[in-house]
Structures are given as structure tokens and as C-alpha cells.
Amino acid sequence: MEGLQDGQWLPLVFMVLMGISIAAYVILDGYDLGVGMLMSRATDAQRDVMIASIGPFWDANETWLVLGVGILLVAFPIAHGVILTALYIPTFIMLGGLILRGVSFDFRAKAKATHKQAWDAAFIGGSLLASLAQGYMLGMYIMGFDSSLMSHLFGLLTGVCLAAGYVFVGAGWLLMKCEGELQQRAAYWGRRALWGTALGMVVISLATPLMSERIFDKWFAMPNILLLMPIPLMSAFVIGVLEFVLRRLPRGDDRYCWVPFAGSVGLFLLGFQGLAYSFYPYIVPERLTIWEAASAPESLMIILVGTLVVLPFIIGYTIFAYKVFWGKARGLSYD
């Protein structure tokens, strides 16, 4: 009761809100980043359908990134300074990729036929840059912002694996939203990207405990290892199910085409759960806990009121957009 009175619960609430925001961004913007990268393997007509499949949603998806970073800034300003200082260059690259995506998304719709492929290339390149930068940032965070060559190489490997994960969830999205040859190609792309995603999960799962004796003990001390065993077992099970289903899709009746996307969401959530458990209660690995980095309780209470006012609008708009624009994507028309 004393902890509740002195506001010690507030940093935990904001940590949960920030975690939800980041998880929502990775899943929702992850699929449209994946679709953007997959456009490099598609025909011009298929690219129009792929753009149509994400067009009504991608702006709203990026709102979750703004919310997550905003919470980090106002609720954990010390951690924000440390993290952004350490990741200044990849953050700059990520923002450049996101800006390039936004500009090319709008300009390709009005460009002459001779310029359309250039804007498509910009959209593909922006998607790849943003994905690789986010994966590199994740890798460096896991490494505790260590500046050794091995840490940078690990960050690059994580970048490639996260990009594969985005491609996989993007392929799952296309399986739900598209038909015909594009749906068949999405199943093939999904099978290829699944194993890159699995590799990334294995690499991160092995590297995280080795970076900290505290994290190692949290996972492998008894009885923790028995209680946590369902996480890797469930991940392996989901990967096996996805491989089985993808080899049998698409079906003529369009059944089970939702399974790869749902499975990709499950994989991301399982991985996120593992990382959250590993690093808690630290927000900067092994340096700052959420209580050490948090703003004053009085400030957090004011911020919480504002967040609880804004968050329902974000959730409501997201649900409304997906409800209105649900169904199969069709070719673009700008008449």
C-alpha cells in the first residue's frame, strides 16, 4: 500500500504502455514494411495491388511508434537521452527510410509511367533501410550499447533477421488480402522468410542470456528454467505449424489463409515476452531501472491522464480503419 501511495507503481504502468506501443508498432508497421520489401519481387500490376493492401492502414500503424517514443521521452527522459545518444545514427537512418517511404507512397500515385518505377524503388529502399535500422538498434540494445566489433556485427545480423521477420509477416498479410498468382507468390515468400525469422529468434535467444549473468540466472536457474520452458517450446511449435500450413497454401476456398499472419503475430509476441522478461526491471540494460530513469511521480500522473485520454482514440481509429477497409485488395484506381 505504501508503494501505491508514493507513486512507485507509475513507472511500471508506463513501462507496460510503452511495451504495448512498441509491440503494436512492430506487428502492424512490420507487415507494411515487409510488403514494401516484397515489392522488389513483384510485377508492376502486383505492386499496385500490394500498395492497395496497405494503403488505408500504414499511416495509422506508424502512430504506435510515435506513441512509444513519446512515452520514452516524457516518462523516462534519462533513458531516452542514453538510448538515443547511443543509437543516433541508426535512428537517423530509420527516420530517413520512413520519410522516403512516405514521400514515394504519395508520389508514385501521380507519377508518369516513366517515373513510377523510380518511386517504387524508393519505397522498397525506404522499407529496407527502416527495417535494417530497427533490427540493428535492437541488436545494440541487447548488447548493452557495447561498441566492440562483435556487437556491431551482431547488430547487423539482427537487422537482417528482423527484416526477414517483417517480410514474413508481410507475406502473411498478402495471403489474407490478395488472390490469384500474388497470393501463391506470397505463400512462397512466406516459406522462405520463415526460416530467417526463426534464425533471428534463435540468435537473440542465445545472445541475450550470455550478455548478463543476471539474465542468465533468470532463465536457467531452477525452477525458472522449468517455468519458462513453454516460451521456446511454443515458438518451435508455431514455426512447425507455419511451415506445414504454408506448404499447403493457398487453397481454392481461401481457408486458413489467415493462419500465417496470426502465427507471425504469435511469434513476435512470444519473442517480445522473452525480451521483456530478460531485461526487466532495467530500461537501459544493466544500467538504469525503470524507477531510476522515470520522471517525478507528480509529472507521471499528469502524463498518465493525457495518455489515457489519447490512447482510446488511437485504438478506436485503428479498429475503425481495419473494419472499414477489410477484405481483399484490388488494383489501384485514381480516376
193 touches 267 (CB < 8 A) = no
- Residue 331 lies inside a defined structural domain of this protein: no
Mean residue pLDDT of the chain comes to 88
- Residue 155 lies inside a defined structural domain of this protein: yes
- Residue 3 lies inside a defined structural domain of this protein: no
pLDDT of 286-334, one tens digit each?
Answer: 889 999 999 988 889 998 998 889 889 888 988 888 888 888 877 655 5
**Gap between the terminal Cα atoms of the chain:** 63
pLDDT of 52-61, one tens digit each?
Answer: 899 888 888 8
221 Cβ contact partners less than 8 Å away, ≥ 6 residues apart: none
**pLDDT for the residue 317:** 87
A 10 A CB-CB count for 334 gives 5
- Residue 156 lies inside a defined structural domain of this protein: yes
Q: Can you give the residue range of the structural domain that contains 78?
A: 9-324
Where do we find the cell 506501443?
A: 21
User: Average pLDDT of 263-284?
Assistant: 92
- Residue 329 lies inside a defined structural domain of this protein: no
**pLDDT for the residue 3:** 43
Q: Give the single-character DSSP code of 280.
A: T
Domain count, the chain: 1
**pLDDT for the residue 4:** 47
Query: Residue 298 has which C-alpha cell?
Result: 507528480
CATH code of residue 273: 1.20.1630
**pLDDT for the residue 59:** 81
Given a cut of 80, whether residue 40 has pLDDT beyond it is: yes
- Residue 4 lies inside a defined structural domain of this protein: no
**pLDDT for the residue 11:** 92
pLDDT of 180-224, one tens digit each?
Answer: 889 999 999 999 999 999 998 998 888 888 888 888 888 888 888
**pLDDT for the residue 1:** 39
Q: What percent of the chain has pLDDT over 70?
A: 96
- Residue 162 lies inside a defined structural domain of this protein: yes
Q: Using 50, 70 and 90 to split pLDDT, how confident is the model at 6?
A: low
Q: What percent of the chain has pLDDT over 90?
A: 54
Given a cut of 60, whether residue 158 has pLDDT beyond it is: yes
User: Average pLDDT of 44-67?
Assistant: 88
**pLDDT for the residue 141:** 93
Provide DSSP, 98-159: HHHHHHHHHHHHHS-HHHHHHHHHHHHHHHHHHHHHHHHHHHHHHTTT--SHHHHHHHHHHH
pLDDT of 67-102, one tens digit each?
Answer: 999 999 999 999 999 999 999 999 999 999 999 998
User: Average pLDDT of 4-20?
Assistant: 83
Query: Residue 24 has which C-alpha cell?
Result: 503494436
152 Cβ contact partners less than 8 Å away, ≥ 6 residues apart: 140
**pLDDT for the residue 57:** 86
- Residue 335 lies inside a defined structural domain of this protein: no
**Partners of residue 284 on adjacent β-strands:** 288
